[in-house]
Chains A and B, each alone.
Chain A
Amino acid sequence: MKPKHIQILGIVISTMFALFIAFLYATEPRSLGELTTKAGTAVGDALTKGQVITGTYEVDPAKFAQGLALFRSGDYPGARSAFQAADPETRDGRTQFYIAYSLYRQGWGRFASDNKLFEQGLEVATRADKLLGGTYISDDADLKLKTPAALRNELEEGLRVTADDFNPMRALEERK
C-alpha cells in the first residue's frame, strides 16, 4: 500500500467521522434508539431536498389520502400532521390548501373563533394561493370555500372585529 493511498483513505475516514460528529451535535440523539430514528429522518430529508433540486419532488399520495380521510372525519390536527408528512417541503399548493382549511375548521366557533389558528390558517392559505397561482378551484364537494382566495377572505373576516360580530343571528351561521 502506497502512502498516497493511505492519505486518501485518511481523508475519506476523517471527513466521514467529522460529518458524523456534526450530525450528532446537530440532532442530539439521547440514546442509541433515537440515533437510528434521527439518522433515518435526516436521510429522508436529504432525499426530499434532492428531489426538489432535481425537479422530481412529488407529494406522497398515500399520506395525502390518509390526511384527506382524517380531514373528512373531523380529526383536523391528525389531518394536518398527515398532510405535512405528505408535503414536507411545503411545495404543493393543493396540500397547503387543505392544511389551511383544516386550521379554519378547527378554529371556527359559533360564538368566537380561535384567532391563533386563524392566523396560522391565513399564512398557509396565502402560501397555497401563491403556489397555485390563483387559478385553482377545488372539486371537493365537502368544501364550501372552493378557492384559496375565498378561504383567505373567510379567515381575514374571522380575525377582524366588527359590529357584525355582536349580531345574535350570527349564532345561526354554519361552518363552511
Chain B
Amino acid sequence: MEQTEEQEIEKLEVIDAEPVSTTRVDGAIVPFEEEKLHSEDVQRAIRLYILLPFAFLLVTLFGGLRFNGTDGSVMYLSPALIYLIFGATLMALFFVAGLIRLDGWVSERFPITKNVINGITLLAMYAACVQMFNSVIPESGVFFWLVCFCFFWTLWNNLFANFDNKKLLRSLAAMFGFAFFVKYLLLTYLAAPAEQSLVSSILNNPGQAAITWLFSLPQFSPATGYLQFFTIIIFIVALYFFPNTTEE
C-alpha cells in the first residue's frame, strides 16, 4: 500500500516537473496558457459588451441622417411606423434562423450586469434594424410603397424558409445592398440635382425634373450615400461578429 502511494507521489513529481512556459502578471508568475485564456476572455468581453452595442447604436444614429442637397445641413429622419414592424420581423427572423438564442443572451443564470448589457445590446440591435430600413427605403412617394412592399414580401418569405446563420447574413447583405443600389444610385441618378432651380431643371433636363416631381424623389447631398454605405457595412459586420449565445 505504501509502495503504491510512493509511486503516485513520483508520478506527481514527474508531472509537476514538466516544463511550463510562464509569464509575469502584476509581479506574479502565471502559466502562459492561463494568461492567454484570460486575454481571450477580455477580448471576447470587449467585443460582446462594448463593440457590438456601440456598432448597433452607431447604425441607429447614422441610419436616419441625411445631408441636405442645397446647403449640406444635417437632417434627422425619424423612422416610419412600418419600419418598426419590419425591424420586429427581422428580429424574429434572427431568432428563427438561430442567429440569436434568447436564453443565451438573457437568462436568470447570468449575473445582473450581464443580463443588463445583453438586454441593451438586443435593444440596440432592434433599433439598428429599424434604422437600416429607414436608411435604404425611399422617404416618400410611389417608391416608398414599392420598396416597402418588396421588403415585406422578402421578409415574409424568409420567415418560413430554412436558414442557417451564414445564409441569412448573405441574404441580408444582398437585400440591403440591392435596396441601397436602388435608392442611392438609381433614384439619385433619376432625381434632378437639388442645387438647380425648378425652372433651370425643367429647361436643362425636363425628364429628370418630371420624374423628381412625379415620384417625390428626395434631393440629398452625395455625402448621404457615402454615409449610408458605411452604415450598411457596419451593420453587416456587427451581425457577422454577433454570437448566438454569450454563455462561456
Residues on A lying within 8 angstroms of B by beta carbon are 1, 3-4, 6-11, 13-15, 17-18, 21, 24-25, 28-31
Contact = CB atoms under 8 A, between A and B. Distances in A.
B57 A21 contact: yes
Contacts of B121: 14
A134 B53 CA distance: 56
B78 A6 contact: no
Interface string B69-113: 000011110100000000000000000000000000000000101
B114 A18 contact: no
Nearest to B121: A14
B211 interface: no
Interface in B104-150: 111, 113-114, 116-117, 120-121, 124
Contacts of B75: 28, 30
6 A-B pairs with the lowest CB-CB distances in the bound complex, closest first = A10-B49, A30-B73, A3-B45, A6-B45, A7-B113, A14-B53
Interface in B217-246: none
A16 B50 CA distance: 12
B151 interface: no
Nearest to A1: B42
Q: Is the interface of B mostly helix, strand, loop or mixed?
A: helix
A170 to B, nearest CB: 52
Contacts of B114: 4, 7
B46 interface: yes
A169 B202 CA distance: 62
Contact of A29 (B74, B111, B116): B74
Interface of B: 41-42, 45-46, 48-50, 53-54, 57, 60-61, 64, 73-76, 78, 111, 113-114, 116-117, 120-121, 124
B54 A14 contact: yes
A13 B58 CA distance: 12
Contact of A10 (B50, B74, B76, B111): B50
A30 B65 CA distance: 11
Nearest to B44: A3
Contacts of B74: 29-31
28 contacts: A3-B41, A3-B45, A3-B49, A4-B111, A4-B114, A6-B42, A6-B45, A6-B46, A7-B45, A7-B49, A7-B113, A10-B48, A10-B50, A11-B113, A11-B116, A11-B117, A14-B120, A14-B121, A14-B124, A17-B54, A17-B57, A18-B57, A18-B60, A18-B120, A24-B76, A28-B76, A29-B74, A31-B73
